[in-house]
Amino acid sequence: MKWLLLFTFLGSAVQAAEVLRVRPYLVVSPGHEVKLAELVDKEGVSTELMLKLQDVSISTAPAYGEKQELANASLTAALRPFVQEERSRSKKNLMLIIPKTVTIDTVKRALNPAMVQDELLQAWKPLCSSCKLEIEGLSLPRVEGVRDWTLKIKAELPRGSFSIPVDLIREDNSTTPAWISGRLITKKRVPVAKHLLNINDPVLPKDIAWEYRDTSFAIDGTPTAEDMVGMRMKQSLRNDEILWKNMLEREKVIRRGELVQVKSGQRGWEITMSVIAQQDAFMGDVVSLKNPKTGNVLMGTVVAQGEVELR
């Protein structure tokens, strides 16, 4: 997305962050002294920080009918010390989202679907950077005489349908509250079954394809390729369906009563003998073993299918 540049401080994790979003468009009077506070979405800013931003001038608006563009670099430099101070003060993971350019207009900005959609995606995309986001059924208020508008977007990803409050600024500078609605489709790259998987089937790479699917209403996460190693199906899964984490369980590599090989040794020598497992076990588990000849009980760590390393 060309309009989006994400700037983070001190290596933050997106899902844990609070968001400070710079608006991509602002309509003001000719010659108006533009303050940083006017460019920032107030939904993501503390009162203390907003008061500080109100004291900082960033530009003077051009003549009537003209537009001015503020570069990302200048806005980043202006906001950096305030964001760092806010992070230090609040101990919260504050993330700054700035468009590549911010337009200062002296006439008006129409409330049109393309601009609204761009601004919504600008706010939501950083909350799930690996997702593909799509907006459907966008509905805008029909109000005449609008000079500018401000979306009031929370720093959270909607699940399906959404209603976003918007302040409509009229030609006489009065504000009319309204709502914008639609549906957000969130697509993630998830594992999908390439054929029927039955209960107790091991999950192998050849059984899975990775595709972008709609996960807007997902109540469970999906496993990574690493998560699926050594796992088997806890329930059946039909062809072309998404594999969710709760469908998997670890595959037992040793079962109680079976004969297993126990190994012990170091520096070039090794002793191997057959013992009886006293319990079921997964890879990496410590298991109790019984020597069938002596009756002695041993303890070992499961290292492979039917193999245990003596502790």
- Residue type at position 3: W
Tokens of 165: 């409050």
User: Which H helix or E strand runs over 96?
Assistant: strand 94-99
Q: By C-alpha distance, which of 300, 265, 306, 273 is closest to 285? A: 300
DSSP-derived secondary structure letter, 251: P
User: Which H helix or E strand runs over 88?
Assistant: helix 72-90
Domain end marker among 82, 107, 132: 107
103/203 same-domain check? no
246/265 same-domain check? no
Q: By C-alpha distance, which of 64, 52, 161, 59 is closest to 108? A: 64
215/274 same-domain check? no
Domain of 91 in residue numbering reads as 1-107
In this structure, is residue 97 part of a structural domain?
yes
User: How many structural domains are present in the chain?
Assistant: 3
CATH of the domain at 305: 2.30.30.760
Cα–Cα distance between 127 and 224 in angstroms, integer?
20
Cα–Cα distance between 175 and 154 in angstroms, integer?
20
208/297 same-domain check? no
Cα–Cα distance between 211 and 107 in angstroms, integer?
45
Domain end marker among 84, 107, 130: 107
Beta bridge partners of residue 95, listed in sequence order: 8, 19
Cα–Cα distance between 149 and 109 in angstroms, integer?
8
Q: By C-alpha distance, which of 4, 2, 8, 3 is closest to 20? A: 8
263/210 same-domain check? no
Cα–Cα distance between 166 and 308 in angstroms, integer?
64
In this structure, is residue 125 part of a structural domain?
no
pTM: 0.72
Q: Is 241 exposed, middle or buried (0-12, 13-18, 19+ CB in 10 A)?
A: middle
Q: Is 269 exposed, middle or buried (0-12, 13-18, 19+ CB in 10 A)?
A: exposed
Return averaged pLDDT per consecutive 10 residues of the chain, 311 residues in all. 40 52 92 93 81 93 94 92 88 85 92 94 90 96 92 90 95 92 96 96 93 93 89 94 93 85 74 87 85 88 84 73
